[in-house]
Structure 1
């Protein structure tokens, strides 16, 4: 997959996350933000490895998100809390999977249309 469109998707993902946080309160913004966080990790995986299979990128993105979430059971350094969070929340694990699945589906559809 070409890097420029993936980089554009990464930027749009950040914009969408910031937009959701600005427009909504409560669980909508929280869980949409969780899903978009995993989508951003997915796009970073694809930027690093453009030929990665979608299911592999999804597994890596969800896995990284889950590792970060479980790390919150311990002490996250204060400087990293804005990026990694500070409080373990079990429902976040589900929303990370939703983000990975959405990114996988979009990547798969894009790949099929391009072929």
Structure 2
């Protein structure tokens, strides 16, 4: 198992925790549209890290698409009364499901995912190119 493959899941767990900490820090210190936009983008970034945690070998484009589609699914589910009813009973459920639909969030989810897809794609290409060039071992 390569170094990258061995560390991908711990790296995704740490990344998700970092994105969550960033979202909570922004929420605690700011108010208004920046809080809302950053929250949507960072929650989508967390979903991306979860997708990669579950399927470490998934292509960046497929993982990014899955993360965005999932976020949109949750957002559009808020057009029904189900997420709001569940969120009334649990603050944890409110963090996961939200309570009301917001068109702005739909636009901000890709903002949180696209940079991660780009970085993931770059790192994956770099690792593959280094693997293709095997070092010459001295006698």
Query: Structure 1 residue 30 and structure 2 residue 30: aligned?
Result: no
Unaligned 5+ segments in structure 2 are: 129-139
Relative to 1, partners in 2 of residues 1:49 and 1:30: Cα closer, same or farther, differing over 3 Å?
Answer: same
Aligned residue for 1:39?
Answer: 45
Aligned residue for 1:100?
Answer: 113
Relative to 1, partners in 2 of residues 1:82 and 1:12: Cα closer, same or farther, differing over 3 Å?
Answer: closer
Aligned residue for 1:86?
Answer: 99
- Tell me the TM-score normalized by structure 1: 0.91
Aligned residue for 1:52?
Answer: 58
- Tell me the TM-score normalized by structure 2: 0.77
RMSD: 1.3
Higher gyration radius (CA)? 2
Relative to 1, partners in 2 of residues 1:109 and 1:22: Cα closer, same or farther, differing over 3 Å?
Answer: farther
2-structure distance, mates of 1:16, 1:114: 28
What stretches of structure 1 move > 3 A for 4+ residues in a row?
A: 112-115
- Deviation of the 1:106 alpha carbon: 2.2
Q: Which has the higher contact order (CA 8 A, sep 6+)?
A: 1
2-structure distance, mates of 1:112, 1:17: 30
SS in 2 for 1:25: coil
Relative to 1, partners in 2 of residues 1:108 and 1:4: Cα closer, same or farther, differing over 3 Å?
Answer: same
The alignment of Structure 1 onto Structure 2 pairs a total of residues equal to 115
2-structure distance, mates of 1:8, 1:81: 23
Query: Structure 1 residue 112 and structure 2 residue 119: aligned?
Result: no
